[in-house]
Amino acid sequence: MEAFFQEPDAYVQDQNLLRRILNLTEYRELEAIFKLYLEGVLVLEHWRDYEGKDTITSFVRTEINRVLTQVLSEERREAEARAEREKQVRLTVTTTIKDALFRGRVRVMDIKLNDFLKRELDGKGILRANRNLILKEFFKDPARYIRNKGVLREIQAAGRYVSMETTVKEEMIFDEDINKLYKNGVYTLLGWSKAAAAVKAGVHNFT
């Protein structure tokens, strides 16, 4: 098939028949799959980061996007379900500071940027170079990772972006405070209750 896709008229001389073959939905699907294979797009994660989506047959593109969106949505539901289960866990004096702060929450700052853009913003701004970038790093300097100013402005104007940015920055503060407490030997709620006033004053009010 590889040779046929590259030069179909070398194998089918009847032009009418060739046109019928080239117009078949099944042929266009196979051709699209072959193109993706050549460009190293083998799994859904590769497709998520693929910048040439517009060059792929509309039907194939729509179907892959549908499956990817479904997978991301299921992963999100599973994460939320885990968080809800953790929320039901009773706090005790031995509960760690980290578990106490993040109990019942999905750590969104560890979500990959491209996953967020695909799930919440229809894939706008996705770049292969950012395939391993997490939101925690992205929100430190968005313009560094999305250099198209027009695209970045459009993304930042979205309500979901604003909400996510707020949550990520709050989680980053939690992480910063957790590290401060750990350095002072405060690992659990019991440790917090016994901590010196100066140690407690060194963290943010909502921690």
Q: Where are the domains of the chain?
A: 39-201
| 79 closest CA partner among 116, 99, 109, 104 | 104
64-112 per-position pLDDT tens digit: 988 988 888 888 888 777 777 766 667 788 888 888 888 756 788 999 9
> What's the pLDDT band for 205 if we cut at 50, 70, 90?
low
CA–CA distance, 46 with 7 (Å, rounded to integer): 27
| 127 closest CA partner among 136, 118, 135, 139 | 118
- What share of residues in the chain are helix, strand, coil (percent, to 5)? 70, 0, 30
Check residue 7 and give its pLDDT.
65
> What's the pLDDT band for 125 if we cut at 50, 70, 90?
very high
Cα 82 to its chain centre, rounded Å, is 18
Check residue 149 and give its pLDDT.
95
Q: How many helices (H) and strands (E) does the chain have?
A: 13, 0
CA–CA distance, 144 with 21 (Å, rounded to integer): 46
In three-state form (DSSP H/G/I as H, E/B as E, the rest C), the secondary structure along 40-91 is CCCCHHHHHHCCCHHHCCHHHHHHHHHHHHHHHHHHHHHHHHHHHHHHCCCC
Take residue 85 and report the two structure tokens written for it: 């289960």
Check residue 91 and give its pLDDT.
75
Q: What is the CA radius of gyration of the chain?
A: 24
Q: Residue 202 belongs to what H/E stretch?
A: none
Check residue 151 and give its pLDDT.
95
CA–CA distance, 194 with 60 (Å, rounded to integer): 61
Check residue 89 and give its pLDDT.
61
169-198 per-position pLDDT tens digit: 999 999 999 999 999 899 888 888 888 888
CA–CA distance, 64 with 44 (Å, rounded to integer): 8
Q: Across the chain, what does the average pLDDT equal?
A: 85
Give the CB-side neighbour count of residue 191, counting CA atoms within 13 A.
16
